[in-house]
Structure 1
Amino acid sequence: MESLQALQDFIKTKDNFRNFVNSSEVPSVCKTEPCMLGVDEAGRGPVLGPMVYGVAYCPLSQTSVLKDLGCADSKALTEEKRDDIFRKMLTEEASLNNVGWAAEIISPNYISNSMYRRAKHSLNEVSMNSAIDLIKKVAESGANITEVYVDTVGPPEKYQAKLSEIYPNYKITVAKKADSIYPIVSAASIVAKVTRDHALKVWQFKEGLEMTHAEFGSGYPGDPLTKKFIREQVDYVFGYPMLVRFSWSTAELMLQDKAATCTFEEIDDELPKKKVKSISSFFSVKSEDGAMKRKRHKFFEERYLSMDNAFE
């Protein structure tokens, strides 16, 4: 991958409905020298679009490379500056910079389904699982990771303890605002933010909607363009396109107001009521004085098997 256009082309080949991972080749030096790895996300709060988790890694001996690239908290950089830094990580300069990276694009559909399913899977759990999987992927690709720095979700102490249990051989540091403290986390933040920005720019509506990123905005609930999209793009029957996170209250409230009300029949209520037996009744054997005896399985009856001849 040699440019941001190549990044967009790669994203366009993927299904917006599913999660997928994009990553660089592991720099040769990262396979031999001890490396640090940073983890951060972009798009946790928006009602539109994917959440992206990014990791960046480089040798411990070459931390100056991150400063030379201009890595800082992605939120403090302009979009043009973030693009410029990531472009350098994508091109041949990456071989000189010795910085590797990976990003997981987590679809809005996956986020909503995780939060709606019977055994609810919180956004924090989705986030942690993505971070854990990306660290594992980079290590399995051959990078010699020894230190990991993570921008926290939830209490940093609990998150750090969890990662330390999974990766006991790594020095793990989890902190609030890690992207503004550790340059390697800042690099990961840029990977995540730029990937999300370009995923939105090339979003393809399977529903046939003709609309560009400039028309639906950043995806954050406070964005006027996003508000307009949420207000106007409600289908009475199907709700919203898959760009929208249905589980966000912003979308839920609008659907309650403008979409059809769905009533699901309780099938169990239509069935004859049966007396529920206690679990212990299945293990009881009744006596010879007329009480019911537990029925033997057909397998034993056909073979004339009984406890009397079981050990003959």
Structure 2
Amino acid sequence: MEEQNDTSEIPMESQDTAAVIDLTEFDKNNSGNAFIQSEIPQICKDEPCCFGIDEAGRGPVLGPMVYGTSFCPLSWKEQLGDLGFADSKTLNEEQREALMKKIQDASDHMGYKIEILSPNFIANAMLRRSKHSLNAVSMDSAIGLLRLALADGVQVKEVYVDTVGDAKKYQDKLSGLFPDLEITVTPKADAKFPIVSAASICAKVTRDRATTGWKFVEKSDIDTENYGSGYPSDPATKKWLAGNVDPVFGFSQFVRFSWSTASTILDDKAFPVQWEDDDEEDEAAKGSASLLTFFAPKSADPRQKKHQFFNERDLKQVTVM
């Protein structure tokens, strides 16, 4: 286990400007995912590098989950440790912001790639017919970010990953996909390896910015401030969820509606819904058409504009062959 530096004396905003995180792409459409990345230092293309992967926001019922990665040359490991990185969960907001600025100031040796996974994307993945667990969503993001770095020319040699699920199975999966890399998957990697700590900072600062600056596109009287920490156990979050549910359309895109905390409130406060395709499947089994098809107006224009609810969530009509 690598020793971490004492972070109690990390200077607060020692630079004149704060870290710059461009959320423009995500703010334009927070129903989908978005990538944020730095320029790749030339030295990271010329020398073998270490590569850290970590996430922020896995547990909350509100807001996105963010996967962060950071990389630097192996020859720069000692200097990386001197910067004072630590698990982002042990630091306050000012300390995290100061460390994010340090990463950006070290742009001649350090780079990062970040993926913001929207609440809508997470919930849809977990509730679709071929369900995709949160662990699977997490692994997909980590793998995608590593592939992106390799495709961009980063000379990755060592990879350190904070695990989701069984560490050995995850490491075997990654080693099978990337047989030429030295991969270490372990719990608490963000407290053991400074490069993972740096990735943790990238993820946490980005999530905090995306959450506090969330763009509520829904045209309603949603309380956009008093939602608490976003964790299901927070009474303020539970109160916010109960007070901001629409009986027809449910929650705003800020909510991961696949979480049991949200689904319980929907069951209690929203109108029950009978999906047409469920009826069609039942009737097809009986050899007859769905009763609901008789109520469709014959003159209905199939090009009729969809309700805003469906446009906001990127929902599209599909045909199953």
Classify the TM-score, shorter chain.
0.7 to 0.9
Give distance in 1, aligned partners of 2:236 and 2:285.
53
| Cα distance, 1:217 vs structure 2 | 2.7
In structure 1, list runs of 5 or more residues that go unmatched: 275-312
Note if 1:95 corresponds to 2:107. yes
One-letter code of the match for 1:21?
Answer: F
Partner SS state of residue 87, structure 1: helix
1:195 equivalent in structure 2: 206
1:29 to 43, 60, 70: 43
One-letter code of the match for 2:165?
Answer: G
One-letter code of the match for 2:99?
Answer: I
C-alpha spacing 1:262/1:35, structure 2 compared with 1 (3 Å): same
| Cα distance, 1:4 vs structure 2 | 5.0
One-letter code of the match for 1:267?
Answer: E
CA contact (8 A) 2:27 2:214 kept: no
1:137 equivalent in structure 2: 148
One-letter code of the match for 1:197?
Answer: D
2:226 to 201, 215, 223: 215
| Cα distance, 1:270 vs structure 2 | 3.7
Query: 1:150-161 maps to which residues of 2 (within 5 A)?
Result: 150-161=161-172
CA contact (8 A) 2:19 2:100 kept: no
2:97 equivalent in structure 1: 83
Give distance in 2, aligned partners of 1:12 and 1:152.
26
Instruction: Name the count of aligned residue pairs.
Output: 271
One-letter code of the match for 1:201?
Answer: T
Partner SS state of residue 165, structure 2: coil
Note if 1:115 corresponds to 2:121. no
| Cα distance, 1:151 vs structure 2 | 0.3
Query: 1:162-241 maps to which residues of 2 (within 5 A)?
Result: 162-209=173-220, 214-241=225-252
Give distance in 2, aligned partners of 1:234 and 1:133.
34
CA contact (8 A) 1:11 1:202 kept: no
2:157 equivalent in structure 1: 146
One-letter code of the match for 1:18?
Answer: G
2:9 equivalent in structure 1: none
Partner SS state of residue 106, structure 2: helix
One-letter code of the match for 1:94?
Answer: A
1:250 to 238, 256, 261: 261
Give distance in 1, aligned partners of 2:283 and 2:208.
50
1:17 equivalent in structure 2: 31
Give distance in 2, aligned partners of 1:216 and 1:198.
15
2:60 equivalent in structure 1: 46
In structure 2, list runs of 5 or more residues that go unmatched: 1-15, 288-321
Question: Between the two proteins, what is the percent identity of the paired residues?
Answer: 52
Partner SS state of residue 262, structure 1: coil
CA contact (8 A) 2:53 2:200 kept: yes
C-alpha spacing 1:9/1:113, structure 2 compared with 1 (3 Å): closer
C-alpha spacing 1:215/1:268, structure 2 compared with 1 (3 Å): closer
Give distance in 2, aligned partners of 1:76 and 1:272.
56
Give distance in 1, aligned partners of 2:129 and 2:17.
42
Query: 1:54-73 maps to which residues of 2 (within 5 A)?
Result: 54-73=68-87
Give distance in 1, aligned partners of 2:162 and 2:100.
19
> 170-179 vs 67-76, which deviates more?
67-76
| Cα distance, 1:223 vs structure 2 | 2.6
> 236-245 vs 67-76, which deviates more?
67-76
- RMSD across aligned positions (CA): 2.1
One-letter code of the match for 1:117?
Answer: R
| Cα distance, 1:251 vs structure 2 | 0.1
Question: Could you list the per-position Cα deviations for residues 170-217 of structure 1 after superposition, in whole angstroms to 9, with x for gaps in the alignment?
Answer: 000000111111111111111100100000121101103576864223
> 217-226 vs 104-113, which deviates more?
217-226
CA contact (8 A) 1:201 1:212 kept: no
C-alpha spacing 1:272/1:33, structure 2 compared with 1 (3 Å): closer
Larger Rg: 1
Give distance in 1, aligned partners of 2:36 and 2:221.
26
Alignment TM-score, normalising by the size of structure 2? 0.79
Give distance in 1, aligned partners of 2:285 and 2:60.
47
